[in-house]
Amino acid sequence: MGADATRLAYLVTIVTFILALRFLSSPAHARRGNQIGAVGMLLAIVVTFSQKSVLSYWEIAAGMVVGGGFGAVAARKVKMTAMPQMVALFNGVGGGAAALISLAEFHRMAPAAGSLPRDISISIILSALIGSVSFSGSMIAFAKLQELIQGRPITYPGQKAVNGLVFASCLAAGAVIVAGHEAQWLLWAIIAAASLFGIMFVLPIGGADMPVVISLLNAFTGLAAAATGFELQNTVLIVAGMLVGASGTLLTLMMGKAMNRSITNVLFGAFGQVSAGAASTAAGGTGAVRPTTADDVAVMLAYAQKVAIVPGYGMAVAQAQHDVRTLADLLESRGVEVTYAIHPVAGRMPGHMNVLLAEANVPYPALKEMDEANAEFPRTDVSLVIGANDVVNPDARSNSGSPIYGMPILNVDQSKAVVVLKRSMNPGFAGIDNPLFLEPNTMMLFGDAKESVGKLTAAVKAL
């Protein structure tokens, strides 16, 4: 393929990526966005294969078959509860790939000291550094989400100073390479130190902050891919990487706002740390837990005028989204207005609840974002909280001693009645107690969310 045809094909690919992001901005068009992005990526692969610079087609094809096969099987078999882990894993693989490409390009292009153009050497260093941080950090995020290691923050004295020293060593080694001392062991040292930094960067993060971490690491991978594009002088890789980096950064800012955290705090604050003192302060409720039964809740729901369903990670664990949709349809057939109140960081990744409910074909207009949902809670008869903990914790509004103080929440306590579906009184992912469960207008329906929603449905039908 000629140079002009290649540039034209890559331009079409870039346009498809931009359109894909545009469609992905709305749940109503997200599937079409994925399809457009997939077509663009397929075109980019075909164009790349047509280049004369390709040395071994069969090796590339073998890698694509192995990697594509693994991705296809994983995507089809992964449970929705494990989707955050898969996102973290795939994101980390992208960062690791960028780091390995930088190592290969350095080995190919720097046979003698001082032979590497400065702009290329800077791109290689950035790709190796950012890609390594993304890879190791994403692996730790995966391990935390998969509960291979504890989800609580893991800290030690002087952690910030050690992190700063490790990162400074990466920058120093990179400066030596840019200055002309192009020893390959220095790049290996950057990759090793950056990987260590990625581990130490994510270890002190836990609880409800994990969605912020995932979006931040996604931005890192995009930036690493863009730097790789400069190494390979590949325009479509530069643009695609910058699109991922920009969208990931914007999402991080949005998630930080939803968590009441600045970007500076996200990057340098070792956030997510919950001290024992703060946690105990947060558990300051003085009421008593009021257990209830499915029959009693069914009467409340069937004769309500407005019901708000508040999904959380517990719904994802129980795979109850289809049962929730069935219950909502039944209530609507009785004239009840049913909406879904969605907190931006409910679950363990951005948009987790939206994905689950879309899988159950919940109408998009019924999904209410936090600001809109909060405006409706005062006129809501029953708020049905299914497995959500930290995003409905009123301590975030009123208790300055709580670790989540200042975080915007769903104000379900302003409803006339609140019914919380939980397995037990154990705290949520952030590890703090929730005084909402002790409020006089709150009742607890204990049990598996899927089974409890099924009982509610049967009880409403029997009325």
DSSP string, 107-130: HHH-SSTT-S-HHHHHHHHHHHHH
Polymer length of the chain: 463
CA–CA distance from 102 to each of 23, 58, 131, 249, 315 (Å)?
32, 22, 9, 23, 42
Q: Helix, strand, coil: what percent of the chain each, to 5?
A: 65, 5, 30
Amino acid at site 3: A
Contact predicate 274/206, CB 8 Å: yes
What are the residue ranges spanned by the domains of the chain?
A: 1-77, 79-268, 285-462
**pLDDT tens digits for range 147-174:** 788 766 777 788 888 988 999 999 999 9
How far is Cα 241 from Cα 12, in angstroms, rounded to an integer?
Answer: 16
Q: Virtual CA dihedral for 136, 141, 146, 150, nearest 10 degrees?
A: 100
How far is Cα 311 from Cα 300, in angstroms, rounded to an integer?
Answer: 19
* CB burial of residue 54 (10 Å; 0-12, 13-18, 19+): exposed
How far is Cα 298 from Cα 302, in angstroms, rounded to an integer?
Answer: 6
Tell me which fold the domain 285-462 belongs to: Rossmann fold (3.40.50)
Per-residue pLDDT of the chain (463 residues; tens, 9 = 90+): 677 888 888 899 999 999 998 888 777 788 899 899 999 999 988 888 887 777 788 888 888 899 889 888 888 888 777 778 888 899 999 999 999 999 998 988 876 656 788 888 999 999 999 999 999 999 998 888 887 887 667 777 888 889 889 999 999 999 998 888 878 899 999 999 999 999 988 888 765 577 778 888 999 999 999 999 998 888 889 999 999 999 888 888 887 777 666 666 655 554 445 444 444 444 444 568 899 999 999 999 999 999 999 998 888 888 889 999 999 999 999 999 999 999 887 877 777 888 888 888 888 888 898 889 999 999 999 999 998 888 898 988 888 777 777 788 899 999 999 999 988 777 666 567 888 899 999 999 999 999 999 999 999 999 8
One of 4, 296, 371, 390 is an active-site residue; which one? Answer: 390
CA–CA distance from 399 to each of 136, 182, 206 (Å)?
36, 55, 20
Annotation marks residue 390 as catalytic: yes
